[in-house]
Structure 1
Amino acid sequence: MTNKFDIHIEKIKKELDLNSIEVKVIYGEEARNKINSMFVAKTVKKAEKAAKNVTGYCIPNENIVYVCKTDNLGIGTLAHELRHIYQYNLKYHNFSFPRDFYSKDPYYWCRLAELDANEFALKYCKGNNLGWYNIFKYHYRILRIKSTRAIHKLLKPLHNCDK
């Protein structure tokens, strides 16, 4: 039996025209365990705290997506991470993969790849009447799409946000 999350996996892949690419989506507890194992920090407590804030992750060069939750928030995260797979495969916005797992660099959030993935996820959730549309705006707690794109254009000569 296909569940709601699996239906959205196929729907998002179709919307992004990813059906010709074999994308592996791992979700739930298996995804949480994998993400937790990726964190290395000075103490176990710091690694656990950092991992807890991550709801999804992708390995674009391997076409693998990890999503921890399968609720509406998880569907938004799925849309965001699958958009990164799309970006990578189409070399969209000169997609580059950050060296560190979760960057504390404030410029990380102004990278066009992140802005584009957030915008796609918001539009997908709104278009599919997922009731938590406004909650997903947590990605924008500091930056907003329109103002950030303008800021990005101004800062790009000073600091290359895409690399």
Structure 2
Amino acid sequence: MITAMEIRNQQFPKSLRGFNQDEVKKYLLNLAQDYESLYSENASLKEKIQNLEYELSKYRKLEETMNNSLILAQQTAEDLKSSARKEADLMLEESKKRIIEVMMVYQEIIKRMNIFNVELKSQVSAELELLEKNQKKIEELSNFFYSKDFKEVMESLEKVNLKE
């Protein structure tokens, strides 16, 4: 690459019909200044590009880190949901088992209450039968004591007492 200094120091051989040396030098000076300005601007732009590439690299790394964090957060959320589902399923199964156990206990209680009722009914029937027998005996005794024959016996008995 040609430098501004090389442009300034460029010498041209003289010829018979050559160019005006002052004008060539003036043109070369302007050219060198423009070239120097462009070279400076180019160097500045290269530096900016380098800085921007460095910044872009930082942002890409940051983006990658954020993406990894997001993926990790999503995986963690999925793991938590899966764990919560498993725990809920386990709780549901345990609840079902407990409900079945309670229902079996209630069924056993109902069965025992039915047995108790049958036994109580049997006892009550036996007691009722005994009560009815007693009632019949009371009626028989009442009939006997209130019968005409008993009254006669009692009157006779009273008379026996009086005579003695």
Same fold (TM over 0.5): no
Q: Which has the higher helix share?
A: 2
Higher Rg of the two aligned structures: 2
Greater RCO, 1 or 2 (C-alpha within 8 Å, sep 6+): 1
Q: TM-score, normalised by structure 2?
A: 0.17
Q: TM-score, normalised by structure 1?
A: 0.17
